[in-house]
Structure 1
């Protein structure tokens, strides 16, 4: 007796599909953290759950005993927002009355789980002397939110910058574990910091120079405290003036700043040689004036008297006319004409 043609392939396909469905169900049950039938339901209040969601694990001393069903938002009497986490545990692991709860990080990728912790008196979190009634809620004062991982890691950023890249991940995980209060994590953190301090000690000269520079900078700023105060007040006044009128003055300054800078650059480029010559001549002139400042000041002091005498002579008639044909300052073989070489028409 022979079977129907094509029946064997159909049976094989059916068996293959059945195995695929069973594997899928097994994977889903693993991911959904099943707790079996007759689970006990509870809830807990938190200020912040940090991304804890349905399906997250509920653990006791690192052992999975349940799962999170969901998270709701409630507004308290004072207007504060509270996160209420609903979870269930296995029938054989009832939560002990007075047990605490905390949200912790499962890894550095941000996976979180709910941890049931012993009571303040030291009783175990589950299967203690007195069970918490089903449906009860752990109050806010008995819960601990997650560590702000971003702020924590940023606080250790200078240390992370000074160590080798392969040690950063291990150190980060140890820091998070230590601040979450996991047993033995603080000892591990201290030992790692001790090892990493060897690398820091190798750079002692860098930190010494940095400290010296900071100290010198502090001394300089302290000595110029008055100048810094005036600078800050001046900047405040300038910024306030520019901000008046909706910032139109500032916008106009920015728009015209480019053109003004370009015009100034062109002017300096064209007059650079003459400007340098004038500066050099003025420098030689002042070099001769400075040693004889007293004589120069005495001469200038007699100029008003000389002018009064001239005015007295010319007050009643044009008996005397004075013209300055040129003004040349000569000193030690050097000459300078502050008013140029052009003479007045009378002197031509």
Structure 2
């Protein structure tokens, strides 16, 4: 008894689940393969695929089973319709949009009554069929309005346009009301558009006030361009000469690179010697003003120097030997005065 009650509940739940799943599958058409087969011919079935719905008054009654080209230019669609829905010979077929993604379905309509039933595998001729609505041509007419709307409003308006033009819902009045309400969005932006136009007028007014300067600038620019065009040969030759100068400069620098490196190395040695004898150079520079002053006094009587030989001693190198020079000492009073000073 403790196991029977849960088992009964589980069985009931399983049966109900299977029945609901079967009903859902039947509704979605995943298991619907039976029915009476028919054919319909169209000038264009772009977007219609095998397995798409066949509907009457929005209710799914079958599906598309095959699509092929016949007579080199006619599209023939094979489809099935449940046996409970017989079709007359006057039936009409249209391809309609199922949604904005691009899915389509085959819609069947009751045509003029002929009192005869369309036989199995019967053909619905071109005169009784219509292709899908050309959304590209339709939406191109609404492009100026779509550019000013949000994506959500565009999708809503486009779907209502399709429904109205396919006769699936709404009326032309409701479509016009929707279009008018969306057009009000543009009217709400009238102030912004007005400011843009005002700013543009200000810019154009400023340009108009400086029309003379603008004309002069354009004329001068034209003269400059004309002058450059007239001197294009000289400019071209100058560029050639500049190229030759660049090549010559490059070769000169290439030739002078080694001597220049040697000079830089010698300058580095000179700088080292100067730095090493900085104290002696400083002493010489410090004593130089006094020596220049003495020289100035000596040369004050003309542009020459008068020297008096008072003492002489030294050697002369002859044949690799040093020969002493006999010493000389002057007894002139000037020499005595220079010695005493």
> Normalised by the size of structure 1, how large is the TM-score?
0.47
Computing the radius of gyration from Cα coordinates, the structure with the larger value is 2
> Normalised by the size of structure 2, how large is the TM-score?
0.47
